[in-house]
């Protein structure tokens, strides 16, 4: 992302940053991942996965292209794995090399402000694993420091695996310590509404330190059941947002259920209306199935909203169309 920057003196940072906002528990992992961008090692399955990136500028979540990350630490370095959803991989153009301004193309930006450090660090990686870095928002990257990034390109996503030595970060954490951080993403393939996304709800730019999230360094990785509970907590705000959308759909359809049911039945009998009637009928049935689940997954909620983003509006328009058809029969 270009340099829309908010500067805060590190001397006053501890006074300005509150304890609110998002938190990610970063666990001490028991094996060193192989950096290949694929994260196939068992160790990555032991740490929680976070998602629910916001669209920069408010508290609206990205729906079309989400990002996921996991993080862990060892005695010498911090490890991060990111998956960037991208249905239009054919439109991704990654040409920039190490040391070039990678935020001008599809990329992820990592920000770390270790406790007690005089500066925060800004690292950028693109889909081919090129690296860029700077201190604060100086805009003077120099050569990339001694940190590593490997990328992997899939059919509908790209991923990066990153190792950042604590020597580069300038501080070595202790268990229980908190560091401020941000992960942002630049999306140049559309939609324009999701051009810039970030894990904390930032408003004016990726350098908005006062609203950064927190890494909380933990010890031994959790059990499988604990990890599931932790992931639910980490992603609760995103889940609540998605379920709120589902609730709105359900309430709207309930208010007009008889009229909509009649409209669908009418449309299924007429060739010119049948396609839309089938789509709406399938949407309604999918909504009922989803609503019946006690704990629908984030993926099932998102899949529904991506398949039926304007379901209630289309029901209204279809209902009016059917009423007009009946009026002129």
pLDDT tens-digit readout, 197-252: 999 999 999 999 999 999 999 999 999 999 999 999 999 999 999 999 999 999 99
What's this model's pTM, rounded to 2 decimal places? 0.91
The verdict on 248 and 214 lying in the same domain is no
State the average pLDDT over residues 9-37.
73
User: Which alpha helices (DSSP H) does 29-130 contain, by range?
Assistant: none
- As a whole-number percent, the residues of the chain with pLDDT over 70 amount to 94
State which of 234, 252, 282 marks the end of a domain.
234
How confident is the model at residue 18, as a pLDDT? 41
The verdict on 201 and 273 lying in the same domain is no
- As a whole-number percent, the residues of the chain with pLDDT over 90 amount to 88
Angle at 199 between CA 133 and CA 93, to 5 degrees: 55
Supply the range of the domain harboring residue 25. Answer: 10-234
Confidence of residue 141 (pLDDT cuts 50, 70, 90): confident
The verdict on 203 and 67 lying in the same domain is yes
How confident is the model at residue 190, as a pLDDT? 96
Q: Phi/psi zone of residue 98: left (φ > 0), alpha (ψ -120 to 50 degrees), beta?
A: beta
State which of 189, 207, 234 marks the end of a domain.
234
How confident is the model at residue 11, as a pLDDT? 36
316 burial via Cβ count (<10 Å: 0-12, 13-18, 19+): middle
> Is the model's pLDDT at 329 over the cut of 70?
yes
How confident is the model at residue 1, as a pLDDT? 65
Confidence of residue 63 (pLDDT cuts 50, 70, 90): very high
Domain assignment of residue 2, yes or no: no
The verdict on 300 and 186 lying in the same domain is no
> Is the model's pLDDT at 13 over the cut of 60?
no
Angle at 88 between CA 82 and CA 94, to 5 degrees: 65
The verdict on 91 and 194 lying in the same domain is yes
> Is the model's pLDDT at 160 over the cut of 80?
yes
């Amino acid at each position: 992302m270009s340099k829309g920057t908010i500067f805060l003196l590190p001397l006053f940072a501890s006074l300005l940053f509150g304890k609110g906002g998002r938190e990610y528990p970063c666990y001490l992992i028991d094996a060193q991942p192989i950096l290949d961008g694929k994260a196939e090692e068992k160790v990555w399955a032991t740490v929680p996965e976070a998602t629910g990136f916001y669209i920069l500028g408010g508290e609206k979540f990205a729906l079309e292209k989400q990002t996921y990350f996991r993080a862990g630490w060892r005695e010498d370095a911090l490890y991060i794995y990111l998956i960037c959803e991208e249905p239009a991989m054919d439109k991704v153009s990654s040409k920039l090399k190490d040391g070039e301004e990678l935020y001008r193309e599809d990329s992820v930006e990592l920000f770390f402000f270790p406790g007690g450090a005089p500066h925060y660090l800004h690292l950028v990686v693109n889909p081919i694993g090129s690296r860029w870095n700077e201190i604060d928002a100086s805009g003077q990257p120099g050569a990339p420091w001694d940190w590593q990034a490997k990328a992997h390109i899939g059919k509908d996503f790209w991923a990066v695996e990153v190792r950042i030595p604590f020597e580069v970060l300038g501080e070595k954490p202790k268990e229980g310590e908190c560091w401020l951080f941000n992960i942002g993403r630049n999306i140049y393939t559309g939609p324009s509404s999701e051009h810039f996304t970030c894990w904390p709800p930032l408003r004016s730019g990726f350098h908005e330190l006062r609203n950064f999230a927190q890494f909380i360094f933990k010890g031994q990785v959790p059990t499988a059941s604990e990890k599931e509970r932790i992931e639910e907590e980490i992603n609760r705000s995103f889940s609540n947002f998605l379920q709120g959308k589902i609730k709105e759909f359900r309430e709207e359809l309930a208010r007009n259920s008889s009229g909509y049911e009649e409209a669908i039945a009418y449309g299924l009998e007429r060739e010119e209306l049948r396609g839309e009637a089938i789509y709406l009928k399938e949407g309604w049935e999918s909504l009922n199935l989803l609503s019946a689940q006690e704990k629908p997954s984030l993926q099932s909620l998102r899949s529904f909203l991506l398949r039926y983003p304007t379901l209630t509006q289309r029901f209204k328009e279809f209902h009016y169309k059917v009423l007009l058809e009946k009026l002129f029969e």
